Amino acid sequence: MSEQSLTETDVPRANGMPMLGLGTWQNEDPEDCAKAVETALNMGYRHIDTAQAYDNEEHVGEGIESANVPREDVFLATKVWKANLAYDDVLSSTEESLEKLGVDSVDLLYIHWPAGEYDPEETFRALNELHEEGKIDRIGISNFEPENIEEALEHSEAPVFANQVELHPLFQQEEIRSVCEEHDIEVVAYSPLARGAVFDDEDLGEIADEHGVSEAQVSLAWLREKGVTAIPKATGEDHIQDNWESLRVELDDEEIERIDDLGRSERQIDPDFAPW
């Protein structure tokens, strides 16, 4: 990839979904959140990820509205919280999300966790209805283990488009990736930088030094090589830019294998209601 400015066309896509996006978890300050979204979109990002539980959908919507990017060019994803997964609550909470975001539909709506009020039959009945009505373009799942994935496929009339899970070089989720590939489900990585732990890994540091880039860029490049979409959280323009520049990083086979062989299993997100 040339050293001239990167644009949205430099982002590979997975079935129409840009494979590098902006995550907004814990970005609750109204002004900072809106500004981060606006900055990312004006930089070239076209994938924005939020959730009901992040309490920032309204601010994300403000950032989208402020950016010099048409709404139809933005791949927008949000998630239904575990307390809102009963049939009626899925419908009503999604309407609230659309209103907060200031949009008529979202490109991808996830079940945030298979927990709380989650009931495969009733939850997917509501999601299928929203899909038929055109309020959501794609149905997604998040934090679903292999057995949860199989169960979801039994109840979703529309294709299950993506499974969003914690995934990074220090927690590589080989089984999840394999099951998703088998069923043509895209994998989206949250916490792709292991909440900063990648900066302390010696191997990633050495590879980063060889390329003259950050460990974050190496991690994001590795995920891209694995066919995984990454949505790193960032607020300041410098971090948003650093993640964006990962599109220039091309790892060779030896470097990819070296990361594959890290052999670490460092899960960062582990709530007591998780399915594992």
Active-site residues, by number, are: 54
- Closest among 209, 179, 211, 192 to 268, alpha carbons compared: 192
* Residues in contact with 232: Cβ distance below 8 Å, sequence separation at least 6, in sequence order: 22, 23, 192, 193, 216, 220, 243
- Closest among 72, 50, 115, 117 to 90, alpha carbons compared: 117
Q: What phi and psi, each to the nearest 5 degrees, are found at residue 229?
A: -80, 135
- Judge contact between 135 and 104, C-beta under 8 A: yes
Half-sphere exposure of 84 (CA within 13 A, CB side): 20
What gap in Å lies between CA 173 and CA 271, rounded to an integer?
Answer: 17
What gap in Å lies between CA 124 and CA 121, rounded to an integer?
Answer: 6
What gap in Å lies between CA 192 and CA 170, rounded to an integer?
Answer: 9
